Amino acid sequence: MAKSKPTYTIIDVETTGRGNKITEISIFKHDGENVVDEFTSLVNPEALIPDYITALTGIDNAMVANAPTFSEIAEQIISITEDSIFVAHNVNFDYNVIRNEFKAININFTRRKLCTVRLSRTLFSGFRSYSLGKLCHSLDIELVDRHRARGDAEATVTLFEKLLAHANSETVFANFLKKSSKEATLPAHLSSELFNSIPNVPGIYYFKNKKGKIIYVGKAINLKKRVLGHFYDKKEKELNLCRETADIDFELSGSDLIARLMEDAAIKHHFPIYNRAAKRVPKPYAVFSFEDRQGLVHLAFNTLKATPNPLQVFHSIRDCRLYLEQICEQFELCPKYCHLQESVWTCSHFKLTNCKGVCKNKESITNYNERVSLSIDYMVNSNQNVILKEKGRSTHEEAFIMIKNGSYCGYGFVDTSEQITNMDDLEPFLIPQKETSEIRGILRNTLLKQSNSVQIEMTSYQNE
């Protein structure tokens, strides 16, 4: 039995921009030789159309006021696209916008996809730009009503027919449609060769736009897997990020910990537009001590601004509490007098149970204060000079993180053949970095999670 020829639906949508609600849709059904059906309609997005979108498309709120909603045309869209391949210029955008509209009305919309940007990059290589307007100009394709769904879709039909007519189209189309192919998943402007060059190792990655500007920085234990995860994510922010991504760069770290330090430094340096959460300056908190009227020394925490003589500084209240809990447990202190429990006569903490009874008058204030004093000395003096050893970027390399005089100095990479006997020997290999509250939190949490035996191993380069 002869295999039936595939059909294609070439689609373009216009949207409200933010929120990506559809304002217009145009669909041309193609049997591989000719257009056999068409559906075009304005759509009431049930949301306001911003002025800048109106300026771009010419579609305003009055035009769509009496247009059908998406739910009212959903059956027509399902019918015309059924059993056909979804084709669009930058297909992931149009496909995901439509899929999200269906999701909002509890319908699962799934179609095989082809991207005319990625097909053009393969079959018509060598052009400086693959935007629809510039590609149409390069290929002498008439493009009328730019940024209107029917005009753009009609031009994409002509482009698609030129792609179909290419001598290598059958092989390229078949490869793109394979289930194992990432071509329909990758951003339209990103080459598969570049993606395939990303290794499956720890490091940080940079998403760049067409102008080479860094728009996002991330870190990963597995770079390729994490980068691919962005392209599968259907959140609006991720869709917009992938739509703008034209290049990806990366740096190897050897370990997740150094990747976290590298990521924080890169975000602070470049301030990428899609790392907005990292731009917010967190409110620092600190641990401090004070003596009450009975002469009992308390440990407490507050915002850094309101803290006299801070013993340790943290970038979140959560990290501050966790650290104080560890100190309380390690030195057998009372949760009440560490202010981990408020408005109680005696402590009854669910996790901290080794209080010796100072809150019940079972232990003298003098004895209790001696342990508090030890804990303060520990907080002030611990981790003053520490080298944390991490995996290198290859089997012939080790990585290290340097903390000197209690401050983060940076990280570095050393060949395993180097003779290192003390901290000073590592200075030539150090990549200096700035200390931030986020970095302090990352390193402090790392040290707290390590047992004493692990810390001894990690600090084998520590100065005597």
Whole-number pLDDT of residue 462: 43
Q: Which helix (H) or strand (E) holds 104?
A: helix 91-104
How confident is the model over 210-223, as pLDDT tens digits?
889 999 999 999 99
CATH number at residue 263: 3.40.1440.10
DSSP labels, 356-402 = -SGGGTSS-HHHHHHHHHHHHHHHHHTTSSEEEEEE-SSTTEEEEEE
Where residue 124 falls among pLDDT bands split at 50, 70, 90? very high
Q: Are residues 339 and 369 in the same domain?
A: yes
Q: Are residues 258 and 302 in the same domain?
A: no
Residue 190 CB-density burial (10 A; 0-12 exposed, 13-18 middle, 19+ buried): buried
**What is the C-alpha separation between 417 and 392, in angstroms, rounded?**
13
Q: Are residues 156 and 31 in the same domain?
A: yes
With pLDDT > 70 as the criterion, what percentage of the chain qualifies?
A: 92
Q: Are residues 83 and 229 in the same domain?
A: no
Domain that holds residue 247: 192-279
Report which of residues 293 and 443 the model is more confident about: 293
Where residue 449 falls among pLDDT bands split at 50, 70, 90? low
**What is the C-alpha separation between 61 and 48, in angstroms, rounded?**
7
Q: How many CB atoms lie within 10 A of CB 285?
A: 26
**What is the C-alpha separation between 321 and 136, in angstroms, rounded?**
60
DSSP labels, 203-239 = EEEEEE-TT--EEEEEEESSHHHHHHHHHH--SHHHH
Q: Are residues 110 and 21 in the same domain?
A: yes
Where residue 381 falls among pLDDT bands split at 50, 70, 90? confident
- Identity (one letter) of the amino acid at 138? S
Alpha-helical regions (H) of 285-364:
317-330
pTM above 0.85, yes or no: no
- The mean pLDDT of 431-437, rounded to a whole number, is 85
**What is the C-alpha separation between 126 and 324, in angstroms, rounded?**
61
Q: Are residues 154 and 210 in the same domain?
A: no
Residue keyed to tokens 């993180």: 401
CATH number at residue 19: 3.30.420.10
Q: Are residues 366 and 416 in the same domain?
A: no
**What is the C-alpha separation between 108 and 292, in angstroms, rounded?**
64
What backbone phi and psi angles, to 5 degrees, belong to 114? -135, 140
**What is the C-alpha separation between 312 and 286, in angstroms, rounded?**
6
Q: Is residue 71 part of a domain?
A: yes
Beta pairing partners, 389? 400
**What is the C-alpha separation between 9 and 130, in angstroms, rounded?**
21
Q: Are residues 290 and 267 in the same domain?
A: no
Count of domains observed in the chain: 4
How confident is the model over 238-268, as pLDDT tens digits?
878 888 888 999 999 999 999 999 999 999 8
**What is the C-alpha separation between 291 and 282, in angstroms, rounded?**
29
- The mean pLDDT of 299-308, rounded to a whole number, is 91
Q: Are residues 40 and 123 in the same domain?
A: yes
Residue among 140, 145, 118 nearest 130 (CA):
118
Q: Give yes or no for residue 461 having a pLDDT over 50.
A: no
